[in-house]
Amino acid sequence: MKTDILSSDKGCETVEELDNENPPEGAEPPKVHAASGECASCDCETSRKCSKCGGPWLCSQSCQKAWDYYGHNFKCALGRPLDSADYLDRACWTDTLPDDEDTIEDFGFIKFPSVYDWLKLFGLYVGLTRMGVGSRELHQWQTGGTLTKNIMSKFEAIPQHCRGGYYPWFLENLHVFNSDSPPDSILGIARPYLEPEDRSKDTHELTPEAKRKSFMLYSLLLNGYHPNPSLSVQVVQDLYFQFGFVTGRGSEGERVLPGLYRELISKCAFKEFWLAYQSYSLISLMDANGLKSERKKVQHLEAFLKIKPNTWCPSVWYLRLFTHSSDVDPPRYITVDYGFSNCNTVEEKFALKDAYKDLLNSPQVDPMELHTACINGKLFEFTRQYNPNLKQRFRRLMKTPYPLPVNVEWAGMCANTVEIHGASLEMVEKAVSLLGPQSIRVVLAKK
């Protein structure tokens, strides 16, 4: 049963009566508390609010129940320290997977590497809460070492046809749930896809690189995940970039591309997949397996997956990867192309990074249109189209050397190593300043 932590009108705060005398010199004036406000649920004027935390205004019990009970409960607290069972209870009633580390460990989620198994275990706990099991009972079971026994007791007490599908799954996986061994590696699920001679190898022993990276992508996809660029793990960021997840925008990145790759690996052999990745022919493999219409939903995927080493890649894709990272300083080509060279403080770097992140996270923004704005010297104007409240200081921050006096193929581009043929010395110097000397190999420069 939910604890009522909201006061009635009788217990609400009232306006404090203030002394007419001036406060002593140097003392802060007394605070005036509002006598009433708008109900957070129905917007009616009310004097009823939480007496413990000073908010929110809620005019009645019905509005209290309709409002975000768990959000307020955790802001205001329960009059005792919160524990992992409280967070699990909140997750169940708000229908969101728990993200509290103690909850994940205490209630067995950590034993399962697959997000699909997490969802089933979570469904089991949701069922328990709907049976009336509260956070205090869950806490008692967990701390008393009787969690498994009591879960089984609750479900066995109801008719079999009412137990749903999560309880049978739980019984099948008791050996995992009750195990004291470290959880299985996330890589285990993908090992059967390897050739027999590769299955006992450590990941770093898999060669060539295309096979190793494909194996790691399989491991994520088969466990219900996909590369998350926000993780400060280089290999995950590499997978996010090299398999084209960086090109998805809005729901394309979060739903279409992971689904597309899962469908593909269910239709082709692992060797087919990694050889196609190695030869830059993943698009052809998708089309051959009837996925052409699906992959075309991701606008720039085809062009991106055909980019080979030492050929030009629009730097906007690296900008998008950078905005998801925790790095303060971007690579050189982003520094020049997108104005980070103008930043005088760390605060300016983060502000500029956040502006681009908000822009590129919008499903309405085509990253290649931002690339076009970059090489035309119109970054500020383009960003203002989608963010009219962008402050004027960004006009200076987004100023770049573009547009260049003549059209060149490398404007707004980057590559590991490139050759410049037949350019003037002036243009070579401009290329070196933009791309960095380590990236340039000049052939037949004109005096």
If asked whether residues 203 and 291 sit together in one domain, one would say yes
Q: Which of 256, 288, 305 is the last residue of a domain?
A: 305
pLDDT of residue 442: 37
| 308-317 tens-digit pLDDT | 887 889 999 9
Cα(123)–Cα(101) distance, integer angstroms? 18
pLDDT of residue 37: 84
Helices (H) and strands (E) in the chain, counts: 24, 6
pLDDT tier at 191 (50, 70, 90 boundaries)? very high
If asked whether residues 265 and 336 sit together in one domain, one would say no
pLDDT-above-70 percentage for the chain: 79
pLDDT tier at 74 (50, 70, 90 boundaries)? low
Q: Which of 78, 110, 134 is the last residue of a domain?
A: 78
Instruction: For residues 304-325, give the mean pLDDT.
Output: 91
C-alpha distances in Å from residue 168, one per residue of 152, 174, 376, 427, 442: 10, 10, 61, 69, 67
Inside any domain, residue 191: no
Inside any domain, residue 183: no
If asked whether residues 31 and 50 sit together in one domain, one would say yes
pLDDT tier at 185 (50, 70, 90 boundaries)? confident
Q: Which residues contact 56 (CB under 8 A, 6 or more apart)?
A: 40, 49, 50, 67, 72
| 249-286 tens-digit pLDDT | 876 667 789 999 999 999 999 999 999 999 999 999 99
Indicate if the pLDDT at residue 104 is higher than 90: yes
pLDDT tier at 17 (50, 70, 90 boundaries)? very low
pTM, to two decimals: 0.72
Inside any domain, residue 367: yes
Measured between its terminal Cα atoms, the distance across the chain in Å is: 84
The residue segments making up the domain with residue 47 are 1-78
Range ranked top by mean pLDDT from 4-8, 80-84, 395-399 = 395-399
If asked whether residues 327 and 391 sit together in one domain, one would say yes
| 395-447 tens-digit pLDDT | 999 999 899 887 777 788 887 655 554 555 565 565 555 555 444 443 333 33
Tokens linked to 347: 């605060």
Instruction: For residues 291-314, give the mean pLDDT.
Output: 92
pLDDT of residue 309: 80
Nearest by Cα to 446 from 403, 412, 406: 406
Indicate if the pLDDT at residue 66 is higher than 50: yes
Inside any domain, residue 184: no
If asked whether residues 317 and 439 sit together in one domain, one would say yes
If asked whether residues 432 and 359 sit together in one domain, one would say yes
| 351-363 tens-digit pLDDT | 999 999 999 999 8
Nearest by Cα to 388 from 378, 396, 380: 380
Beta bridge partners of 418: 440
Indicate if the pLDDT at residue 233 is higher than 90: no
Q: Which of 46, 78, 110 is the last residue of a domain?
A: 78
Cα(281)–Cα(287) distance, integer angstroms? 10
Inside any domain, residue 348: yes
Q: Between these two residues, 40 and 78, which has the higher pLDDT value? A: 40
* DSSP letter string, 151-218: HHHHHHTS-GGGSTTHHHHHHHTHHHHT--SPPPPTTGGGGGGS-GGGTTS-GGG--SHHHHHHHHHH
Tokens linked to 70: 């768990």
pLDDT of residue 294: 94
If asked whether residues 322 and 431 sit together in one domain, one would say yes
Number of domains observed in the structure of the chain = 4
Inside any domain, residue 189: no
Inside any domain, residue 204: yes
If asked whether residues 247 and 214 sit together in one domain, one would say yes
Cα(108)–Cα(118) distance, integer angstroms? 9
If asked whether residues 267 and 287 sit together in one domain, one would say yes
Inside any domain, residue 44: yes
If asked whether residues 295 and 250 sit together in one domain, one would say yes
Asked if 261 contacts 305 with a C-beta cutoff of 8 angstroms, the reply is no
When the pLDDT of each residue in the chain is averaged and rounded to a whole number, the result is 84
Q: Which residue has the tokens 């990253």?
A: 367
If asked whether residues 70 and 104 sit together in one domain, one would say no
Point out the least confidently predicted range of 62-71, 107-116, 128-137: 62-71
Point out the least confidently predicted range of 21-25, 151-155, 182-186, 212-216: 21-25
If asked whether residues 255 and 324 sit together in one domain, one would say no
pLDDT of residue 10: 34
